[in-house]
Every structure is written in C-alpha cells, then in structure tokens.
C-alpha cells in the first residue's frame, strides 16, 4: 500500500457524511457565489441556478468571518462584464478588507492568472487563504505562493473540493484497505463540448484559460492522490484558434511503476468518469468524476456500490477542512498539502511544454 495513502482522513469533513442530495444528480459547479461578512451573507447571483446555502453556512460556522467572492466571467455573470469586474477587483478585496482585523481568511476564486498576486497579497496581510484550482499558472508561481504563506505564518490550501467529498473519502478508504490489491492504473477524463467564444475565460490565453488547467487538474490530482508522485509525463494536445488547449491527453508514470492515463477537453464531450485498477480488483467512479454520488468496488468479494451522496453542492466540505485546520493551528492541509500542489503544477508545466501551451509573460 503506498505510504501516502496512510494519511488520516477519518477526522476530515464531519458535516453530513452520508447526507442525500435533494435531486439525486451531481451538483452544479459554479465558483463560489457568496460573500460572508460578520454574520451576514451577500449573494452575487450567477447566470444559472445553484444552492450555495450550505457553502455560506459553512463559512460562518467557526473562525472564518470573511470569504471574498468576485464575479469572474462575462458569460457566467450577465450583469457584470468581465472587463468591468477585473477593473474593479480592487474595490472588492483590496486595501480596506485585507487590512480589516475582523477578516481571518480569504477565498480566491478569481480568474486563473490572478490567483498568485491576490493569494500573496492576502498572505502578506496576515490572512489565511483558500485559493481555487488551478493553484497557479506554473510551479514557479505556486512556489511563490507557498513561500509567502509560510513566511507569513498563515494557512494556504488549493481548493480541490473533490478530495473532501464523501465519495472520495470512501475511495481512499477502499484503496487503503487493500480490497483491490495494489493500485496500478488510474484512467480518468473530464471534458465537455463548448462552442468557441474568444471572450470566454476558458478560451482566453491571457486569463490562463484552456482545458488542461481548469478541467485536467481533476484527473491528474486523482492519479496523484491514489498513485503518489508523478515522475514522468508523455502528452499530446490540440491548441485552438485562441491559443489555449482544446484537447489534451497524457500518460503519467508514477513512482513505483504505476500509470495514470488522463484526458481533458473544451471542444469535445467525454465520459467524465474514472477507473482505478489494482492487482485484485477495480473501482469505478461515475460521472461526474470530480463530484460523484457513489463509487463501485469490484473485487473477489463481489461488486459493491458505496453511496457518497450529500446535500447541497458539496463546497462546504473543503470549507470544513479549512475550519478543521485552523482550529488545531495547522497552516496546511494533510489532505491537500502544499508540496503536492506545487508538484501538480510541475506536472501541468511538463504537459504544457510538450503540447506547446505558453501563457503571456513566460
């Protein structure tokens, strides 16, 4: 059994671990839409529906008084265009709020290229930070974020919410138990068909767009979670008219002779499923693989479906992890450690280098 799977996950995310979703479907994923300040929650309405009551409640439950939400994309927020929002981001999170002694922590869901400057600025202001994935556009940038947090003595975590969901906790428990033997292969893909829109953030190179960083991070982090450090990458990809990757596939070789096969896309629909194969069985993760309702374990004992459903959209589980860590004085999560975030960024660097994806300023 890989040593990194022996991390203690039992104490993580205590809220409703066996709760049921009201509609029986995977949650709609928007980047967080609430601002919680001193006991009040202010809503930035998205273009489509989504229940964020559990997210806001989780923010307010314990030590986090203020989490900042910024609208980030024209087509997600019809009342505020992207250019207007980016010009006004100082108004939302700058100066006064970061200097406010009542603000303990800041959530950074900005466009990808703004994760680094605002995370560093928050850390240097003495605020704990939960930063959306992808952590940064490169491993060098990720290292700067981590250095700033450690130098300032504040908490920092990449918001890969999948890791804190009930189905993912069950997944790690099953692999750790040895029910499928030694895991040797992870296969996962995440992609959808979106019409080309040069103004949408996913198609904008200057905003760190593309399928790899926004979607590919989910299959890659799953492979890292279950198989450990990634030692080598072989990748191919298709860059579109705007310069971002529209399709990408990679084979990841992990330490110990195991493999991950991952795919991501903006212009073609994929199964959005995953499979973990071991020496004595396998685990199937249904769509959507980054927020599944269940997993199916196939072993010598037969086939077992393990329920992983929950109420709401599931974003509260990563917030609970922030609360848990702050409550015991931790400055990083053992479920989503900072060194792994840097390592994931290095893997993304290697894939980008092989497919020719270069961001402005590099």
The residue assigned the tokens 């999170």 is: 93
Burial class of residue 238, CB neighbours in 10 A (0-12, 13-18, 19+):
middle
Provide the strand spans (E) within 46-93. 66-67
Question: Reading across the β-sheet that carries 128-132, which strands appear in turn?
Answer: 105-108, 128-132, 156-159
C-alpha span between 207 and 240 (Å, rounded): 15
Alpha carbon separation from 331 to 8, 268, 320, 334 (Å, rounded)? 16, 39, 14, 10
**H helices present in 114-216, as ranges:** 115-124, 139-152, 166-177, 211
Active-site position among 21, 127, 133, 263: 133
C-alpha span between 28 and 46 (Å, rounded): 11
C-alpha span between 247 and 216 (Å, rounded): 10
Can you give the length of the chain in residues?
362
Give the Cβ contact number of residue 358 at 10 Å. Answer: 12
C-alpha span between 80 and 92 (Å, rounded): 13
20 is catalytic: no
- DSSP-derived secondary structure for 109-122: -S-GGGHHHHHHHH
Active site residues: 133
């Amino acid at each position: 059994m890989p040593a990194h799977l022996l991390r203690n996950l039992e104490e993580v995310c205590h809220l409703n671990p066996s709760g049921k979703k009201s509609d029986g479907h995977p949650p709609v994923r928007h980047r967080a839409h609430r601002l919680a300040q001193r006991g009040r929650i202010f809503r930035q309405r998205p273009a489509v529906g989504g229940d964020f009551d559990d997210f806001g409640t989780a923010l307010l439950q314990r030590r986090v008084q203020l989490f900042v939400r910024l609208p980030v994309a024209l087509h997600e927020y019809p009342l505020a265009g992207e250019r207007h929002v980016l010009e006004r981001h100082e108004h939302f999170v700058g100066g006064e709020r970061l200097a406010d002694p009542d603000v303990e922590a800041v959530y950074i869901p900005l466009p990808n290229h703004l994760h680094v400057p605002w995370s560093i600025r928050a850390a240097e202001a003495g605020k704990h930070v939960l930063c959306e994935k992808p952590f940064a556009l490169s491993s060098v940038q990720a290292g700067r974020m981590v250095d700033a947090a450690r130098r300032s003595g504040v908490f920092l975590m990449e918001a890969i919410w999948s890791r804190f969901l009930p189905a993912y906790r069950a997944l790690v428990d099953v692999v750790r138990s040895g029910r499928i033997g030694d895991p040797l292969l992870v296969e996962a893909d995440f992609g959808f068909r979106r019409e080309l829109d040069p103004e949408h953030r996913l198609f904008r190179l200057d905003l760190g767009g593309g399928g790899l960083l926004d979607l590919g991070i989910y299959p890659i982090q799953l492979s890292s979670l279950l198989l450990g450090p990634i030692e080598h990458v072989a990748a191919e990809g298709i860059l579109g008219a705007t310069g971002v990757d529209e399709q990408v596939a990679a084979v990841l070789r992990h330490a110990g002779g195991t493999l991950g096969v991952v795919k991501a896309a903006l212009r073609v629909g994929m199964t959005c499923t995953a499979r973990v194969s071991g020496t004595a069985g396998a685990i199937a993760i249904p769509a959507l693989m980054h927020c599944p309702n269940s997993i199916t374990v196939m072993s010598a004992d037969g086939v077992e479906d393990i329920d992983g459903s929950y109420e709401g959209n599931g974003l509260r589980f990563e917030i609970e992890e922030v609360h848990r860590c702050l409550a015991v004085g931790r400055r990083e999560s053992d479920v989503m450690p900072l060194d792994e975030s840097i390592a994931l960024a290095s893997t993304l660097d290697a894939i980008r280098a092989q497919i020719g994806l270069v961001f402005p300023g590099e």
